[in-house]
């Protein structure tokens, strides 16, 4: 906390703050909750960058100390979500709905991966879901980049044909996604984040 407090003046000048991210910060909910609680005591803005895949108790533990949730939303179809991530999206969607019931400010972040989740069907379903949430303030489309390629090779994921993922075309895909999502949503939709 001493290290974090040293930069308080920069947070004030930039309207920034502390973001717990990861990996998945909700897997370390006790630690994050305590850091965020202390930051708020010092008047430092707090955020969590999460995919939402965590138990309800972990989410609740950090929510009361968090000013903003940056929430990844990838795929709306549960079967497709399982193929891409090895887990159901049921918990992810339930936790997002829970944050909405608690009226926690949330920005949705869509890591856009060509041939995985950039199709119109998924984007429309995502927009439909987000439209029903009153505490979502913004949506950010995050273009694909090749930074995780080594990890993909190491995982050897079945069911995903990476050969068709074109990092160079990701900006075009992101632009198309922003235009489509803007048609359906009454919140700011931007590329990048």
Q: For residue 88, what are the CA distances in angstroms to 74, 75, 76?
A: 11, 10, 10
Instruction: Report the distance separating Cα 11 and Cα 50, nearest Å.
Output: 21
Q: How many domains does the chain have?
A: 1
pTM above 0.85, yes or no: yes
Question: pLDDT tens digit string along 136-185?
Answer: 999 999 998 766 566 656 666 554 555 555 555 577 889 999 999 999 99
pLDDT, residue 36, reads 97
DSSP state of 158: T
Question: pLDDT tens digit string along 129-139?
Answer: 999 999 999 99
Instruction: Give the domain CATH number at 116.
Output: 3.20.20.70
Residue with tokens 């995050």: 142
Average pLDDT of the segment spanning 53-57: 96
Which SS3 state, helix, strand or coil, does residue 15 take?
Answer: coil
Average pLDDT of the segment spanning 9-35: 91
What is the average pLDDT score of the chain? 89
Residue 3: which pLDDT band, with cuts at 50, 70 and 90?
confident
For the chain, what percent of residues have pLDDT higher than 70?
87
For residue 73, how many other CB atoms are within 10 A of its CB? Answer: 22
Domain residues for 29? 2-191
């Amino acid at each position: 906390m001493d290290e974090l407090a040293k930069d308080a003046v920069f947070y004030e000048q930039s309207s920034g703050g502390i973001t717990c991210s990861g990996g998945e910060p909700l897997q370390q909910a006790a630690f994050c909750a305590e850091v965020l609680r202390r930051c708020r005591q010092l008047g430092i803005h707090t955020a969590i960058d999460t995919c939402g895949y965590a138990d309800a108790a972990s989410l609740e533990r950090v929510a009361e100390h968090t000013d903003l949730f940056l929430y990844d939303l990838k795929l709306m179809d549960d079967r497709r979500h399982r193929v891409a991530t090895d887990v159901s999206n049921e918990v992810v969607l339930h936790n997002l709905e829970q944050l909405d019931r608690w009226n926690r400010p949330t920005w949705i972040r869509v890591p856009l991966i060509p041939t995985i989740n950039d199709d119109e069907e998924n984007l429309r379903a995502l927009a439909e879901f987000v439209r029903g949430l009153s505490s979502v303030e913004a949506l950010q489309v995050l273009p694909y980049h090749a930074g995780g390629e080594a990890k993909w090779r190491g995982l050897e994921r079945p069911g995903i044909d990476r050969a068709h993922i074109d990092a160079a075309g990701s900006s075009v895909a992101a632009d198309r996604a922003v235009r489509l999502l803007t048609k359906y949503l009454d919140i700011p939709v931007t590329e990048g984040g």
